[in-house]
Amino acid sequence: MISVCSARTIQASPSSIHFFFPRNRRRIDSNVLRFSANFSSRCSDYDEYSEAQSERIANYAGTRLEETVDINPGKVRLDSWISSRINGISRARVQSSIRAGLVSVNGRVIDKVSHNVKAGDVINCTISELQPLRAEPEDIDLDIVYEDEHVLVVNKPAHMVVHPAPGNATGTLVNAILNHCSLPMVSTSTGEHQSDSDVSDDEFSSIEVFSRVSEAPIRPGIVHRLDKGTSGLLVVAKDEHSHAHLSAQFKQHSIERVYISLTCGVPPSTAGRIEIPICRDPNNRIRMTATHGTKNNPHAKHAASRYNVMEILAQGGSSLVEWRLETGRTHQIRAHAKYMGIPLLGDEVYGGTKSMAMSLLRTRASSNCHGQLMQLVSSLERPCLHALTLGFVHPHTGKNIRFSCPPPTDFAEILSQLREIGTKKLQVTKS
> Which residues are designated catalytic?
227
Q: How far apart are CA 131 and CA 422, in angstroms?
A: 53
What separation in angstroms does the CA of 94 have from each of 14, 75, 85, 164, 283?
A: 53, 18, 11, 18, 17
Q: Which residues pair with 103 in a beta bridge?
A: 125
Closest CA to 325 of 310, 307, 343: 307
3-class state of residue 57 by DSSP:
coil
| Secondary structure tally for the chain: helices H, strands E | 9, 26
3-class state of residue 232 by DSSP:
strand
Q: How far apart are CA 154 and CA 146, in angstroms?
A: 7
Q: How far apart are CA 55 and CA 200, in angstroms?
A: 12
Antiparallel, parallel or unpaired: β 17-20 and 400-404: parallel
What separation in angstroms does the CA of 99 have from each of 64, 89, 128, 372?
A: 16, 16, 10, 45
Contact between 110 and 78 (Cβ < 8 Å): yes
Could you write out the DSSP letters of every residue in 330-344? TTHHHHHHHHTT-PB
Antiparallel, parallel or unpaired: β 64-68 and 108-109: unpaired
Q: How far apart are CA 244 and CA 131, in angstroms?
A: 28
Element (H, E) at 366: none
Q: How far apart are CA 245 and CA 234, in angstroms?
A: 15
The radius of gyration of the chain from alpha carbons, rounded to an integer in Å, stands at 22
Contacts of 250 by beta carbon, 8 Å cutoff, 6+ apart: 46, 48, 204, 223, 224, 328
Does the CA dihedral 108-114-118-122 come out positive or negative?
positive
What is the DSSP-derived secondary structure letter of residue 128? P
What separation in angstroms does the CA of 278 have from each of 51, 52, 258, 338?
A: 11, 12, 20, 12
